[in-house]
Structure 1
Amino acid sequence: MKPSSHALHLPRVIVLASGKGGVGKSTLVRSLAAHWLSVGQTPAIVDADPQASIVSLHDAEGLMAKVTVVADPEVETIKSTIGDLAARHSIVLVDTAGFRNQTTIMACISADTVVIPLKPAAEDAREALAMLDLINELNATPERTRAPIDARLVMTMVTPGTLIARQVRKELEKGGYPILETDVMQRVAFPELSMRGLAPSIVDPDGSAARNIAAVATELGKSGSTNRVVQAA
């Protein structure tokens, strides 16, 4: 029997979405999947990005072979693909395009939680808040009014102690936006392992990068039972 994600207070479907590319969505999807696999969950990934970076690097016979990876960038089928996987896996992670398209919107409609990665930069913050606005719009639809989508911002590629990272976090927290306390740090392990379709929790489970992802996953677990989206200014 597969572990129950609801018993662990984990969101069943987590969609990573952003209005711009280069913020680390694919790396974070793969890293979270590897973490949850390492703790006994049965994660699946939907690669809804037309670039298919996760699918193209996935080794079905390698260290992450137990993670089911399915490519589906099509707006007509993405919801059914997510639903089919959610019926068989404890957690489904969805990687979306580096721009807003209809497939991303349909994936968000199917989500329990939407995670919005942003680098510590003004442009990224604006795009993240625009994505929060979209989640608010979706939560106003009949399909989601009774079960609103939870949304969480997470800063990625953060260099410790930098002024810009502190400033962006301060502004987002001051505005009451739902940003995770844990940042995804700028560590060499993430891009190096991503090039091989791997992730820290599988290759070096005791390393700093794996601990970083575990902290992100723990926060998402704590937020899985809440459904709060703050209106973007």
Structure 2
Amino acid sequence: MTLENEENKLKTLLLILNESDLLDEANIKNLFSCFPGVEKEGVENLIVYVDFLKTINAESKKALVHIFKERIHGFALEFPSFSVDIIEDYETPSTVTPSTVIPSTVALPEAVQTKSPGMSVCFVFGLGGRDELKQILSDFITRCRNEDFQTQTSEMTSDYISDSLKLPFEPDLIISHAKHTLTDFMIWQTVYSEYYFFEKDVGKVTDSDFRKAFDSFYKRDRRYGA
């Protein structure tokens, strides 16, 4: 599609889900089946954020994340053209490429080993944006107390925050399955993002539904806060 407005280029897409959306393994499979169509749209970075109910305790959440990771690992094997990562509570990402999913004792097919990764897909479980910003501020204060850091800079700037984020992308479009509710995830990066809400369950979403979301995005006049 030729865009009249060059500002409406869709490079980074944020998809917000609830943990209940992934309880059915078929839903995850259906979600992965839509990824090739998303990539064809020109999306370079697809971020899938899984929001948990506040009533879920830490132990239950940990168990659910473990189950979700295992399922994502399995489906990542079926789509080796994507680079799939997982972030838990903003810790170091654990890459879910075929070479790390399959035990080292199992030989990978040559086609899988040599296929170049395409769209980057990142599943994120855990903390919200406010917690990340609080951690960045806490780390900044700690570093300011260090003499070596004081000789460099002691000023909190927008660039400093942006450079400290685990996900430095600024989503162009946010598609939410989360019952028309918003989260504080990527609160710093999404200030100028456009929103679109799916009415269907994840297991019933099709390429056509994503197409409608993209068409809606392209028709919008992005003001970037103006």
> What TM-score does the superposition give when structure 1 sets the normalisation length?
0.42
